[in-house]
Amino acid sequence: MAAAAFSSSSVLRPGLVPLRRWRAPSRPAPGAAYSTSSSPRSAASDEATIISGTKLAKQVLKEIQRDVESWISFGNKRPHLTVILVGDNPASHIYVRNKIKAAASVGDATVTITHRYTPKEQLKIHTQLADIVVVAAGIPKLITTDMVKEGAAVIDVGINHIHDPLTGKTKLVGDVDFEVDYTEQPRLLKLMQACLEEHHSYCINGLCAFHNELRKPICKCLAGYNGERCEHLTLNSYAHNSYERYIAVGIGIGILTSGILAIIYCYVRKRCRKLKSPYKVCLGETAL
């Protein structure tokens, strides 16, 4: 099976020329004049109408090619197709090969193909660059939240059977871990942010990211790779200083301390009341 990721800053943004779709011939308007024949029906009239998928595909490809050329003429980035190939199924290879030819014919950029043994760090770079990710790899929960950039569209075509430890039964899941996407807690603000529009072509290799401390775009590359503009930094997540958090901790400590002091006070008062000796003085009480 294969998964394709379409990378372009244009796919989900306004201004893209809409793809024209093939429609079936419309029915005649009410009251429109048309003729009928009273002659016996011929044998040909009972035959099924054959819709040529090849002919329609060529028509759609021509329309997409015109749309891509129009989009690039406005100075926008050329669309890019990335194919993730899992396994060695001959049918999958034929499918991918045809998609590569179709992408080249409509004017897409160079196609990148990965397989099931591709390191996940490298796969993550490709998916983070994509605006549309179509996953049909046949691997349960292959794509996680951190592998997709904000605003990207994810289409899950995978169907996998896994064992549910909660119910003890088998359930169907896709190739995308949607459960994590919806149940995960909000993330902390990161040191890295997505590059601005003018920096989209900054990185020839690697993933473009804007460093908040350095105040400049950098290219995140794989370890051991020394390409143009590549920088290898330890990119961890940091939380911004939160005074509310410190205030809440201080209030909690104050309440806990007050409770402990109140318990000690009550204990001492109770013990003093039990003392009957006239020579004992407890908590400001004068002995008789």
Reading the chain (288 residues) residue by residue, the pLDDT tens digits are 455 555 444 444 444 444 444 444 444 444 444 444 444 444 445 555 667 777 888 888 888 888 888 888 888 877 777 777 777 777 777 877 787 777 777 776 555 666 666 778 888 887 887 777 777 777 888 888 888 888 777 878 778 888 877 777 888 888 888 765 444 443 333 444 566 666 666 666 566 776 666 667 777 665 555 555 665 443 333 334 445 667 888 888 999 999 899 888 888 887 777 665 544 555 454 444
Mark out the alpha helices in the chain (DSSP H runs): 53-73, 90-106, 120-129, 178-183, 243-274
Q: Using CA atoms, how far apart are residues 288 and 281, in angstroms rounded to an integer?
A: 9
Domains of the chain: 1-13+56-184 (3.40.50), 187-240 (2.10.25.10), 244-288 (no CATH)
Assessment of whether the complete model's pTM goes beyond 0.85: no
Tokens of 22: 């093939």
Q: Which of 37, 95, 101, 107 is nearest to 69 (CA)?
A: 107
Pairing mode, strands 192-194 and 153-156: unpaired
